[in-house]
Amino acid sequence: MRQHDKLFIGGEWVTPAGTGTIDVINPHTEEVVGRVPDGTTEDVDRAVAAAREAFDHGPWPRMTFAERAAVLGRLAEIYAERQGEMAALITEEMGSPITFSNLAQAPQPLGMLNYYAQYGATFEQEDQRPGVFGPVTVRREPVGVVAAVVPWNVPQFVTMTKVAPALLAGCAIVLKPAPETPLDAYLLAEMVREAGVPAGVLNIVPAGREVSEHLVSHPGVDKVAFTGSTAAGRRIASICGEQLKRVSLELGGKSAAIVLDDADLTSSMGMLAIASLMNNGQACVAQTRILASRNRYDEVVDAVANMVNSQPVGDPADPATGIGPLVAKRQQERVEGYIKIGMDEGAKVVVGGLDRPYDRGWYVAPTVFANVTNEMRVAREEIFGPVLAVIPYDDEADAVRIANDSDYGLAGTVWTADTEHGMEVARQVRTGTYGVNCYMIETAAPFGGYKASGLGRELGPEGLGSYLEYKTIARLG
């Protein structure tokens, strides 16, 4: 039982304003494994005030990029030492298979810290340009106080896409972790203190939806960085738009994996297992629409079915597990609701269905649907679980059309023996990230989406740019 009775505000562990608590429940055992304070609007006000003080009067935004990069480097060293602890903690609080936690949940946030520490070491705050009318200085300054609102599925990954570049930029941050997964944020707070990040630069307040909206709309916040559902993103965008507040949104996805006729199914399915089922299917970038030509449709359906059947379902702490439980009972019921919708729409269940693998734990049967059209809800709406829909296409142009026929545009893949031709396909699909015979999120390159998948980009130089304001200084003489 991990018991926390304080909030991390102003560089100190402080007593919360309220008496409410949040229970953290292990989705495999359904037992309470942690408890943290349930933050209130008063706690948010205090956290924003601490961040404002750190930004308006503290040393952090007045340091050079290289000085801040050095602090990020120290934080990365500390993070590396506790990487295994972080991975195990995330598996415990949200059910990610330990293999995935050790592959991505902890190592990728560490990679982001290392990337921005290295990138910031030589980053220039100002550059000189000749200009049309005379010499011009372009200066980069931090945007201010950032509200970072993160989800439960990859909590440290999403946290670090915001915290690492915001810290390098010189911002102060109020981090609002999801109620399901606050424990990893407490571990991060310990590391931040040890690394010497000044007081008030990072503040952490776990809370629910109403308190989150108070944070987003707070007049002391200069920018909101949010990852989560498209519905919540629209609400946040409306608040920020009304206040003319900077905002970046990384939202949902319904990504398509195009399997071309020349693809080797054996090798493709090995990689597609990760791309489509990562984190128990609870990933916005998951390739959940599998597009197969009518020429090889039955063969691809069989290959996808065998791939899903080969994934052991069980205890996420077991290294042999491929698919673990969903994060909460409501998520289990949501995904099962979509499985029923697919059946009612006329899709054929090839693997899985509504029979639960276990009586205890928030498990669903990994499911593959065949005979799916792109108009069905299971092909259009984000399910956020281990449910795959295999959709037929007539020719390559039809496959690209189907891939693009979505409200979302976050990710996608193409599977082919001809990688150069795969690049041609990649250039035609309107998504923010894409993979040829793989899917990965590259730390040094921008990550984000088209259409309803969000606004702005994270990671890479572009990710730092979203936390900077640009000032032009013209001069005579």
When pLDDT is averaged across residues 372-378 and rounded to a whole number, the result is 98
Look-up of token digits 């006000």: 45
pTM of the model: 0.96
21 Cβ contact list (under 8 Å, min separation 6): 35, 36, 37, 38
Q: In the Cβ-directed half-sphere of 464, how many Cα atoms lie within 13 Å?
A: 24
**171 flagged as catalytic:** no
C-beta of residue 313 within 8 angstroms of C-beta of residue 280: no
Write down the mean pLDDT value for the chain.
98
Q: What is the DSSP letter of 60?
A: G
CA distances from 121 to 65, 71, 117, 124, 361 (A): 7, 10, 6, 9, 46
* pLDDT at residue 397 in the model: 98
**250 flagged as catalytic:** yes
Report the first-to-last Cα separation within the chain, whole angstroms: 67
DSSP string, 375-396: TSHHHHS---SSEEEEEEESSH
Strands 408-409 and 450-451: antiparallel
Query: Is 477's pLDDT higher than 80?
Result: no
When pLDDT is averaged across residues 405-424 and rounded to a whole number, the result is 98
Give dist(CA 126, CA 370) in Å, integer: 56
Q: What is the DSSP letter of 278?
A: G
Catalytic pick from 92, 284, 382, 396?
284
20 Cβ contact list (under 8 Å, min separation 6): 37, 38, 40
Give dist(CA 373, CA 392) in Å, integer: 8
When pLDDT is averaged across residues 185-200 and rounded to a whole number, the result is 98
132 Cβ contact list (under 8 Å, min separation 6): none
Res. 27 pLDDT band, cuts 50 70 90 = very high
CA distances from 296 to 90, 264, 299, 436 (A): 39, 12, 5, 19
- Total Cβ atoms within 10 A of residue 56: 13
CA distances from 132 to 125, 137, 198 (A): 22, 13, 41
3 state SS of 178:
coil
3 state SS of 334:
helix
When pLDDT is averaged across residues 64-87 and rounded to a whole number, the result is 98
* pLDDT at residue 92 in the model: 98
Give dist(CA 6, CA 342) in Å, integer: 45
pLDDT digits (tens, 9 = 90+) for 347-363: 999 999 999 999 999 99
* pLDDT at residue 86 in the model: 98
C-beta of residue 247 within 8 angstroms of C-beta of residue 217: no
* pLDDT at residue 246 in the model: 98
* pLDDT at residue 476 in the model: 85
Catalytic pick from 92, 93, 213, 250?
250
pLDDT digits (tens, 9 = 90+) for 262-274: 999 999 999 999 9
Give dist(CA 21, CA 5) in Å, integer: 8
